[in-house]
Amino acid sequence: MKTPMQELLNYTTDLLHTFDSEQRVAMAVLDYLKTNKKALLEKEKETIKKCIVMGMEFIPVDPSRYEEDSELIFNETFNTKER
């Protein structure tokens, strides 16, 4: 599985081989981000939460709480929305 950043970099590389100007590449990347930003952020969140769960497997944590605990840790660490 690729992270959203890896996907964006691959997309940009493909565009560089397709378009004849960096301006067109920049416009296409901007359009891609505008269209996919919500999905990219959600995928990034899920990727981070999977990493958190992998770390929990090495400490005494109730496996039935992995999802809830990873959501809590993600929100405490990465949630940028003002409370």
In whole angstroms, what is the distance from residue 69 CA to residue 55 CA?
A: 12
Tens digit of pLDDT for each residue in 33-69?
A: 999 999 999 999 999 999 999 988 888 878 888 889 9
Is 83 contained in some domain?
A: no
pTM (2 decimals)? 0.74
What DSSP string describes 17-35? Answer: HH-S-HHHHHHHHHHHHHH
Overall number of domains in the chain? 1
Residue written as tokens 């952020």? 41
Query: How confident is the model at residue 81, as a pLDDT?
Result: 67
Is 50 contained in some domain?
A: yes
Is 20 contained in some domain?
A: yes
